[in-house]
Structure 1
Amino acid sequence: MRVVIAEDSVLLRAGVQRILADVGIDTVAAVDNGDDLLAAVEEHRPELVITDVRMPPTFTDEGLRAALAARTAMPRLPVLVLSQYVECSYAVDLLAAGASGVGYLLKERVADVAEFVEAVRRVAAGGSAIDPEVVAQMFARSRNPLDALTARESEVIGLMAQGLSNGAIAQSLTISQGAVENHIGSIFAKLGLEASSVEHRRVRAVLTYLDRTLPAVTR
């Protein structure tokens, strides 16, 4: 099996590579950012990608976005995501196109070598490996309408709640204003905010966001 690893922690990257080597799995590239991950996938056409979620330069979702782009360029490419924390919105993004050849594990699982290697082999074979803690938190939050939002849409509505205009949101996220408008339209649809003025729907969307997030912040 040929694997590409994307992880900005030198120690973890080397540790995963060593674990794989010990069971006869070949790491064809080990990189520390999303751009190099995409380049490595294009060059090596691996049978599996193992990637962190947060990598340089912003340490938000670069690894996940690169993995999703890689799956677009190379359909059915198995991807195993390793994350420091449970991030349900990222798990939803990853699973949106189906669970075949997809894994999402907490990094602490790497400590259990046998369990980690089994997950690697299962995902590479087209199966799935979702961390039990991720499943539990996704289930617990399944009634929250915000869970339907992608990671980027969650960022957009968060900035909306701060009172930023579309232009300011675009500048903050380094995307076009048209992209912001598309994200907001998608947010309205997913939250079931139909016909009314855009301004009214924007207020209702922000109120929904605050209602669902403020209790978690104050607990």
Structure 2
Amino acid sequence: MRIVIAEDNVLLAEGLQLLLTRAGMEVAATVADGDEFVAAVARHRPDVTIVDVRLPPTYRHEGIRAALAARRDRPDLPVLVLSQYVELVYATQLLAGGQGSVGYLLKDRVGRVEEFLDALRRVAAGGTVMDPEVVAQLLAHRHNDPIDTLSPREREVLGLMAQGHDNTAIARLLFIVESSVNKHVGNVFAKLGLSADDSGGHRRVLAVLAYLNNQSRTVP
């Protein structure tokens, strides 16, 4: 798998390169700002990219802007965004395109190597991956709406759905049979008024996130 990284922190950039190389992947380029990232994507045609949200010169949202610019030229470009903090406004703009191949993880997740590599592979394969902490904050800020009608198990299932897991994976993670997951998923979508179409794909993730984060704004 061929990768382009945009990360201005030298230690983290080198650590990512070492981690990915040891996992049998090829790091085609490591750059430190948005313009270099867009150029590197055009030059190397990577299978997946890793982008820090905050890059020089202002350290606000240059990474997201660069990812969006690269995806305008290549809409199917897989992008895994890394952030120090939960920044839902920036994450949502990437998700809004609806093409999938998008991930949003907190940087702490990199230390959980197998989990991080699994997320990267899922994004490269066209999936949508959200950090559990992002999902937890979205759920925590919803009150007095149909979310409150979900049972504790249905809330667990919703959280795992929003992280990009399919029903088989959810069954494994919750130690229950897949038929039970199917029932819980059906209940979740019914209670939230969402379509259950494409129950194993990224559109389901986007539908859930759109519901949870319906007050989202675009990147200025």
- TM-score with structure 2 setting the length: 0.66
Preserved CA contact (<8 Å) 1:88 1:137: no
Preserved CA contact (<8 Å) 1:86 1:106: yes
Preserved CA contact (<8 Å) 1:7 1:55: yes
For residue 92 of structure 1, report the CA deviation from its aligned partner.
1.0
- Structure 2 residue 217 is matched with structure 1 residue 149: yes
Q: How big is the alpha-carbon RMSD for the aligned residues of Structure 1 and Structure 2?
A: 1.7
Preserved CA contact (<8 Å) 1:82 1:107: yes
Structure with the larger helix share = 1
**Structure 2 unaligned spans of 5+:** 144-211
Distance 1:15 1:47 in 2: 20
Preserved CA contact (<8 Å) 2:76 2:99: no
Distance 1:109 1:148 in 2: 24
For residue 141 of structure 1, report the CA deviation from its aligned partner.
3.9
Runs of 4+ with >4 A deviation = 142-146
Residue 118 of structure 2 aligns with which residue? 118
For residue 94 of structure 1, report the CA deviation from its aligned partner.
1.4
- TM-score with structure 1 setting the length: 0.66
Structure number with higher relative contact order (C-alpha < 8 Å, ≥ 6 residues apart)? 2
Distance 2:216 2:130 in 1: 18
Q: Kindly tell me: are residues 114 and 64 of structure 1, through their superposed partners in 2, closer, same or farther at Cα, counting changes over 3 Å?
A: same
Identical aligned pairs, as a percentage? 57
**Structure 1 unaligned spans of 5+:** 153-219
Residue 74 of structure 1 aligns with which residue? 74
Distance 2:55 2:125 in 1: 26
SS at match of 2:81: strand
Preserved CA contact (<8 Å) 1:99 1:128: no
SS at match of 1:151: coil
For residue 61 of structure 1, report the CA deviation from its aligned partner.
0.2
Equivalent residue pairs, number? 152
- Structure 2 residue 132 is matched with structure 1 residue 132: yes
